[in-house]
């Protein structure tokens, strides 16, 4: 029983995480397998409607090896014409359909086995209750006298035991009927025989492992050691030959002469394995497996159930007190009057039930082992189906590229690609998950894909950071690019690599990128219309980044605002005014208007304008300014300070522009200091600045009108003289 225990332990562990793998949609089969003959015509119509074109699948060339690597299959398909690809698609479709049918038969067999196991467990529970009730009734009847209330109560207990016996008998009959149904259905019977054969092979592997352990305890070089080695090597070689035959059978096309020959070779290899395993067991090299030979095997379950049903029926008849002939007449004690005493009937019935519950549990265990093997088989078949779907999809992709219609094929694939899990069968779920994790097209494949997924993501993160650093350094060395543009370029490169890596990682999991890209494209098209103004700001932001009219911290005049640039984004620009307020401008407004940048260079020109009268000595003013500018330590000598006197209208004053160059970062500090010093020197030199004079001249009519308005205004302010 060690193999059964190990399987159950794995099942219990695996069931804890089964919810992670719950997916939807294995195709439902509303009719049972016994209705196959009635639906043959409907299925043929379905197949004909699914296959595209008038083709002969028997002429297909790519199905000769069903496990052909996908890259090689793509090369085979590349030179084929549209008509030839339709033939290949039809052939792969029929193979996939046969595999789906095989999976369906196995799933039906699993459900039937679950029903039989439930009936057997129910019967075992009923027998246990009946046995306990009979024991209580026997004790009560032995102590009570006929006609008393205690006797009546004991009789009621006996009737309860009879009811439990009837329930047990019904449950056993149901289990027997389920077994008969499985035997009558040829397809299901073949499925069960396949599972029993696989169960025997699994037992042979256990025998081989145990025999090797037993051989290790023998003295190397002894006769017993040599005999054990010879028989172990024979079984090992038989198992290797069986695996080779099964691999060759998987690659063959079902229904072909080659497939039939390989099927016979597999049967012969299995017989050799069982013969070698039996030889080891007879030699006593597998004591634990030999100890299990007394247990009920799955192929013996039906006869054991029939015997149990006969025992329960006999116990039920004895509990009723009937005179029956049995093969063991000593079990029934007939009284002189011909009737069986109630206490003796209960005792005889209890004796007849001894061991029946244990036998039922043993049968249930055997059926459970067979059910678990069916689960292992169906998991392997689903893995094979996955491989067929992968290759069928490659054929359909090639057919699409050359103008073929693959709609019906793809709908069929979608309909059969899901998995339906029976969460009530916890042991089966665990076995299914353990088998899936061990299968090449299941857990191993997904484990490899997950490793690729994680590896691609990690590589994309590392590459994105490296590229971001390289871009940042290159743009910094080139110069002439704004900090914002450099940060934007780094962000685009880094996130672009991450997005690309994520898409490649999803592709490694088998996720189709076509629908994702189509969804992104459709969403972008809708957003382009809904967010036109935002996209305009985004485009203007890009222009600001590329052309760099200003950078963060620059002093600019934009849209009528004279302020410092606080921040720039792709949508808006924030300015910080001299009074501390923050102004946010859309980039459309910024880029669409005049932009004056006062701090675009490392040096900045100081300009101070003064207005003096025509009577002032301009040379004296010029000399004073040159001395003043030269005396300031932060005024640059090159470019040299300068001046420009100007009068555009020959008015009463002259505008003198005094200029000096300073570093941009100390512009306002130097400006204030020069202005203060200029005020002091102008005062010392007695240079009088011109005050602005504005003359207003009125004509006669205008003067009269103003006089009238002034008189009215004054009169309205005087107190009234009327009482």
Q: What's the pLDDT at 249?
A: 80
Q: Rounded to whole angstroms, how far apart are CA atoms 569 and 590?
A: 12
Which is more confidently placed, 533 or 343?
533
Name residue, tokens 């009621």: 156
| Lowest pLDDT segment from 13-17, 170-174, 184-188, 642-646 | 13-17
Reported residue count of the chain is 723
DSSP run (H or E) holding 230: helix 223-251
- Residue 26 above 60 pLDDT? no
**Neighbouring residues of 143: CB distance < 8 A, sequence distance ≥ 6:** 150
The answer to whether residue 662 scores a pLDDT higher than 90 is yes
The confidence band for 232, taking pLDDT boundaries of 50, 70 and 90, is confident
How many angstroms separate the CA atoms of 226 and 237, rounded? 16
pLDDT category, 341, cuts 50, 70, 90? low
Q: DSSP per residue over 525-594, as a string? A: HHHHHHTHHHHHHHHHHHHHHHH-S--TT-EEEETTEEEEEEEE-SSEEEEEETTS-EEEEEHHHHHHS-
- Judged on CB neighbours under 10 Å (0-12, 13-18, 19+), 523 is exposed
Residue 270 has pLDDT above 90, yes or no: no
> What are phi and psi for residue 605, nearest 5 degrees?
-90, 130
In this predicted structure, which of 377-381, 395-399, 660-664 has the lowest mean pLDDT?
377-381
CB atoms within 10 A of CB 249: 16
Judged on CB neighbours under 10 Å (0-12, 13-18, 19+), 346 is buried
Rounded to the nearest integer, the mean pLDDT of the chain is 76
User: Would you state the pLDDT for residue 27?
Assistant: 35
Half-sphere exposure of 133 (CA within 13 A, CB side): 20
Residue 687 confidence (pLDDT) above 70: yes
| Nearest Cα residue to 367 out of 40, 641, 111 | 111
- Sorted by where each begins, the domain ranges of the chain are 187-300, 446-530, 535-597, 603-685
Q: What is the mean pLDDT of residues 118-138?
A: 75
The answer to whether 234 and 283 are in contact (CB under 8 A) is no
pLDDT of 354: 63
Average pLDDT over residues 146-160: 76
Q: Are residues 241 and 272 in contact, defined by beta-carbon separation less than 8 angstroms?
A: yes
Look at residue 182 in the predicted model and tell me its pLDDT: 67
The confidence score (pLDDT) of residue 313 equals 67
d(Cα 410, Cα 416) in Å, to the nearest integer? 10
Instruction: Determine what percent of the chain is predicted with pLDDT higher than 90.
Output: 15
Please write down the long-range contacts of 697-700, taking CB distance under 8 Å and 24 or more positions apart: none
Answer with the residue of higher pLDDT: 17 or 209: 209
Half-sphere exposure of 75 (CA within 13 A, CB side): 4
Give CA 576 to chain center in angstroms: 48
Does residue 480 surpass a pLDDT of 50?
Answer: yes
Q: What is the pLDDT of residue 322?
A: 42
Residue range 414-437: mean pLDDT, rounded? 73
pLDDT of residue 462: 93
Say which CATH topology domain 535-597 has.
SH3 type barrels. (2.30.30)
| pLDDT for position 204 | 85
Per-residue pLDDT at 242:
87
403: left (phi over 0), alpha (psi -120 to 50) or beta: left
Residue 695's pLDDT is 60
Which residues are CB-contacts of 577 (< 8 A; sequence separation ≥ 6)?
A: 561, 562, 563, 583
| Architecture per CATH, 446-530 | Orthogonal Bundle (1.10)
pLDDT of residue 324: 36
Sorting pLDDT into bands at 50, 70 and 90, what band is 686?
Answer: confident
Confidence of residue 261 (pLDDT cuts 50, 70, 90): confident
In the predicted structure, residue 458 carries a pLDDT above the cut 90: yes
Assign 326 a pLDDT band (cuts: 50, 70, 90). Answer: very low
Q: How far is CA 276 from CA 85, 424, 432, 509, in A?
A: 47, 39, 29, 43
Q: Is the pLDDT of residue 535 over 90?
A: no
- 4 with 365: CB under 8 angstroms? yes
Whether 699 has a pLDDT exceeding 80, the answer reads: no
- The residue with tokens 């037993």 is 214
Q: Over 80: is that where the pLDDT of 400 sits?
A: yes
Q: Residue 445 burial by CB count (10 A; 0-12/13-18/19+): exposed, middle or buried?
A: middle
Band of the pLDDT at 603, cuts 50, 70, 90?
very high
Average pLDDT over residues 501-529: 79
Q: Average pLDDT of 478-485?
A: 72
Question: Phi-psi bin for 469: left (phi > 0), alpha (psi -120 to 50), beta?
Answer: alpha
pLDDT of residue 216 exceeding 60, the answer is yes
pLDDT at 367 over 60: yes
Residue-level pLDDT at 718: 42
Q: Does the pLDDT at position 6 exceed 70?
A: no
C-alpha span between 196 and 630 (Å, rounded): 108
- Report the side by side order of strands in the sheet with 642-646: 603-613, 653-663, 642-646
Q: Are 73 and 391 in contact (CB under 8 A)?
A: yes
pLDDT computed for residue 329 by the predictor? 36
Which pLDDT score, from 0 to 100, does residue 255 have?
Answer: 72
- Strands 595-597 and 555-558 come out as antiparallel
What's the distance, Cα to Cα, between the start and end of the chain in Å? 132
The residue to which tokens 């002259």 are assigned = 654
pLDDT above 80: residue 671: yes
User: How much is the pLDDT for 19?
Assistant: 37
Band (pLDDT 50/70/90 cuts) for residue 311 is low
3-state secondary structure 430-481: HHHHHHHHHCCCCHHHHHHHHHHHHHHHHHHHHHHHHHHHHHHHHHHHHCCC
Q: Per-residue pLDDT tens for 428-437? A: 677 767 776 7
| pLDDT in the model for residue 614 | 82
Taking the C-alpha atoms of residue 349 and residue 344, their distance in angstroms, rounded to an integer, is: 8
For residues 588 and 543, the answer to whether their CB atoms sit within 8 Å is no
Q: Which residue has the higher pLDDT, 348 or 463?
A: 463
Residue 40 pLDDT: 43
Query: In a 10 Å sphere around its CB, with 0-12 CB exposed, 13-18 middle and 19+ buried, how is residue 375 labelled?
Result: buried
pTM of the predicted model as reported, rounded to 2 decimal places: 0.54
- pLDDT, residue 700, reads 54
Which of 557, 673, 669, 666 is CA-nearest to residue 603? Answer: 666
CA dist 297 to 121, 168, 360, 563, Å?
A: 17, 22, 12, 92
The closest of 322, 360, 368, 327 to 342, measured between CA atoms, is 322
Sort strands 595-597 and 582-586 into parallel, antiparallel or unpaired.
unpaired
Residue 395's pLDDT band, with cuts at 50, 70 and 90, is very high
554-558: average pLDDT: 91
Q: Tell me what percent of the residues of the chain surpass a pLDDT of 70.
A: 73
Sign of CA pseudo-dihedral 229, 231, 234, 238: negative
pLDDT of 463 strictly over 90 = yes
Please report the pLDDT score of residue 52 as a whole number.
62
**Per-residue pLDDT for 710 more than 70?**
no
pLDDT digit string, tens, across residues 563-588: 999 888 878 899 998 888 999 999 88
Please answer whether residues 270 and 242 qualify as being in contact, where contact means their C-beta atoms are separated by less than 8 angstroms. Answer: yes
**Rounded to an integer, what distance in angstroms lies between the CA atom of residue 338 and that of residue 361?**
36
Query: Hey, is 137 helix, strand or coil?
Result: helix
Place of tokens 């102590």: 143
Question: In degrees to the nearest 10, what's the CA dihedral of 67, 68, 69, 70?
Answer: -100
The CATH classification number of 603-685 equals: 3.30.70.100
Q: What is the DSSP letter of 600?
A: S
Per-residue model confidence (pLDDT) at position 309: 67
Quick check: helix, strand or coil at residue 653?
A: strand
**Does residue 16 surpass a pLDDT of 70?**
no
Residue 13 has pLDDT above 50, yes or no: no
Q: Where are the beta strands (DSSP E) in 598-723?
A: 603-613, 642-646, 653-663
3-state SS record for 389-425 = HHHHHHHHHHHHHCCCCCHHHHHHHHHHCCCCCCCCC
CA-to-CA distance for 661 and 655, rounded, in angstroms?
20
Q: What local confidence, expressed as pLDDT, does residue 557 receive?
A: 92
Does the pLDDT value for residue 498 go beyond 80? yes
CA pair distance 639, 601, nearest whole angstrom:
14
Residue 381 tokens, joined: 């078949």
Looking at residue 399, what is its pLDDT?
A: 92
Distance, CA of 60 to CA of 44 (rounded, Å) = 20
Can you give the pLDDT at residue 510? 72
């Amino acid at each position: 029983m060690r193999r059964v225990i190990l399987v159950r332990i794995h099942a219990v562990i695996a069931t804890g995480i089964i919810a992670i793998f719950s997916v939807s949609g294995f195709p439902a089969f509303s009719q049972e397998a016994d209705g196959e003959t009635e639906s043959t015509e409907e299925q043929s119509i379905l197949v004909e409607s699914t296959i595209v074109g008038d083709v002969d699948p028997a002429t297909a060339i790519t199905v000769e090896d069903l496990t052909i690597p996908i890259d090689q299959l793509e090369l085979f398909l590349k030179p084929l014409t549209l008509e030839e690809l339709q033939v290949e698609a039809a052939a792969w479709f029929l193979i996939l359909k046969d595999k789906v049918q095989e999976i369906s038969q196995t799933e039906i067999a699993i459900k039937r086995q679950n029903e039989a196991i439930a009936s057997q467990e129910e019967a075992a529970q009923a027998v246990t209750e009946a046995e306990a009730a009979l024991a209580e009734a026997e004790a009560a009847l032995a102590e009570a006298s006929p006609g008393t209330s205690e006797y009546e109560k004991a009789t009621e207990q006996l009737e309860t035991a009879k009811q439990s016996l009837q329930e047990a008998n019904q449950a056993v009959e149901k289990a027997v009927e389920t077994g008969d149904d499985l035997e009558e259905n040829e397809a299901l019977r073949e499925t069960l025989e396949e599972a029993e054969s696989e169960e025997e092979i699994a037992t042979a592997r256990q025998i081989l492992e145990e025999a090797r352990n037993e051989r290790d305890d023998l003295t190397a070089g002894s006769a017993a050691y040599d005999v054990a080695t010879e028989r172990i090597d024979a079984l090992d070689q038989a198992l290797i030959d069986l695996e080779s035959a099964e691999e060759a059978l998987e690659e063959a096309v079902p229904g072909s002469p080659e497939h039939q020959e390989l099927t016979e070779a597999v049967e012969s290899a299995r017989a050799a394995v069982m013969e070698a395993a039996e030889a080891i067991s007879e030699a006593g090299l597998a004591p634990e497996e030999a100890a299990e030979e007394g247990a009920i095997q799955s192929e013996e379950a039906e006869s054991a159930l029939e015997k149990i049903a006969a025992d329960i029926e006999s116990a039920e008849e004895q509990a009723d007190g009937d005179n029956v002939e049995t093969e063991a007449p000593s079990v029934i004690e007939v009284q002189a009057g011909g009737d069986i005493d109630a206490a003796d009937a209960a005792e005889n019935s209890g004796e007849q039930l001894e061991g029946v519950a244990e036998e039922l549990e043993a049968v249930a265990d055997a059926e459970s082992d067979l059910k678990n093997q069916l689960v292992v088989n169906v998991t392997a078949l689903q893995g094979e189906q996955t491989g067929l779907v992968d290759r069928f999809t490659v054929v359909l992709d090639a057919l699409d590229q050359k103008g073929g219609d693959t709609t019906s094929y793809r709908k069929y694939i979608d309909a059969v690609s899901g998995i339906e899990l029976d969460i009530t069968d916890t042991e089966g779920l665990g076995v299914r998950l353990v088998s899936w994790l061990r299968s090449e097209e299941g857990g191993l494949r997904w484990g490899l894909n997950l490793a690729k997924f994680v590896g691609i993501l990690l590589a994309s993160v590392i590459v994105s950071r490296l590229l971001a650093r390289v871009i940042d350094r290159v743009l910094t060395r080139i110069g002439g690019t704004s900090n914002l543009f450099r940060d934007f370029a780094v962000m685009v490169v880094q996130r672009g690599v991450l997005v690309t890596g994520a898409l490649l990682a999803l592709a490694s999991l088998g996720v189709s990128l076509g629908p994702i890209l189509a969804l992104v494209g459709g969403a972008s098209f809708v957003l382009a219309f809904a967010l036109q103004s935002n996209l305009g700001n985004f485009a203007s932001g890009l222009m600001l980044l590329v052309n760099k009219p200003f950078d963060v911290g620059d002093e600019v005049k934009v849209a009528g605002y004279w302020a410092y640039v606080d921040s720039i984004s792709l949508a808006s620009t924030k300015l910080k005014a001299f009074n501390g307020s923050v102004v946010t401008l859309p980039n459309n407004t910024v880029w669409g208007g005049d932009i004056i940048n006062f701090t675009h260079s490392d040096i900045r020109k100081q300009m101070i304008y003064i207005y003096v009268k025509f009577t002032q000595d301009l040379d004296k003013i010029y000399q004073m300014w040159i001395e003043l500018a030269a005396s300031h330590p932060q005024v640059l000598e090159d470019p040299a300070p300068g001046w420009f006197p100007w009068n555009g209208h020959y008015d009463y004053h002259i505008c003198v522009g005094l200029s000096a160059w300073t570093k941009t970062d100390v512009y306002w500090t130097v400006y204030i200091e020069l202005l203060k010093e200029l005020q002091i020197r102008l005062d010392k030199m007695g240079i009088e600045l011109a005050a602005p004079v504005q003359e207003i001249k009125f004509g006669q009519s205008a003067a009269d009108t103003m006089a009238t308005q002034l008189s009215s205004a004054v009169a309205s302010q005087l107190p009234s003289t009327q009482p």
